[in-house]
Structure 1
Amino acid sequence: MEDRIFIAKYVVGKLNTEDLVQFADQKLTDGVYSEHLLNIMDDGPEHWNPVSEYFESFVEEKGYAVPSFEQAVWVLLRYHILLISQGNVSPSKQFRQLLDDIESFDLHKGIKKYVGDNIGIENMYGWYHSDCSTIEETDSGIFNESLDWVEKFKNEH
């Protein structure tokens, strides 16, 4: 998984200490050396506070910024919706993964009319929750809406 996606999942609370330990182990296996990664491995998955602090220190050491919660949500939105728009994944399954990844984001806060319109996913959300569409129609609807979303938000966030 790309580092910035992993970092975004960390920020939105989708990772646990075991995920961070696996990340550190993989980086070390790949030849990336950092005292912070070694510290993560030494502390292990039993201690969230030091492991998360070492992880954030590693991220900063490598020149990545730890995004805000809102920025992380947009990173994950862009990641999942781009995957859908490329046509190589099941749109409904990928959209479900998107919703899982941003479950701590309030899809109702600040909406104008429909659930998810605060981040531009209201139509995909509607297709996903449609009771009167076949899976093929749902997938087609989500796919087409993903193309619109990518075009609409190409210069944002």
Structure 2
Amino acid sequence: MGIDPGLTRCGLSVVQAGRGREVLPVAVGVVRTPTGEELPDRLLRLSNAVNEWMDDYRPDVVAVERVFERGNVSTVIHTAHASGVLVLAAAQRGIPVHMYTPSEVKKAVSGNGRADKRQMTSMITRILGLSEPPKPADAADALALAVCHCWRAPLLARTAALLNSGGDPS
């Protein structure tokens, strides 16, 4: 499951990893919370939606965009609140959570850590064989997070196995 956290718009996606780099889309959507509502009510809406998705799709792992400073402190704080609710939902189910920075996702999906929204949406559409680009951008971002993790998971597993066996990952 890929999650692009946000308080106003939160992208959610579910994909199925196939052989090699094959990834199949299962579901994608965006949860919206009204900006006029109080923060606790918005977080509750977000919590209810992500819990419903996790109950319906039962993901094995969750990939979440790591909150980073974008210049607007209010936006960062709201995104951090949303991210906490989303990560907690996975933790309550014992689902592993992997966090990726936007540049890590862009690099994994497009080969360019500075790719713009249009490039990323185009790549996700092509990679997943979608008939049309996912909209809004939060939906495409959630799919990109899921694809990023599917492609990085084998390397992460090998590195963890090496570290657990006392080997040198370098």
Same fold, judged at TM 0.5 (above): no
Structure-2-length-normalised TM-score: 0.28
Structure with bigger gyration radius: 1
With a CA cutoff of 8 Å and minimum separation of 6, indicate the structure with the bigger relative contact order: 2
Flag the structure with higher helix content. 1
TM-score of the aligned structures, taking structure 1 as reference length: 0.30
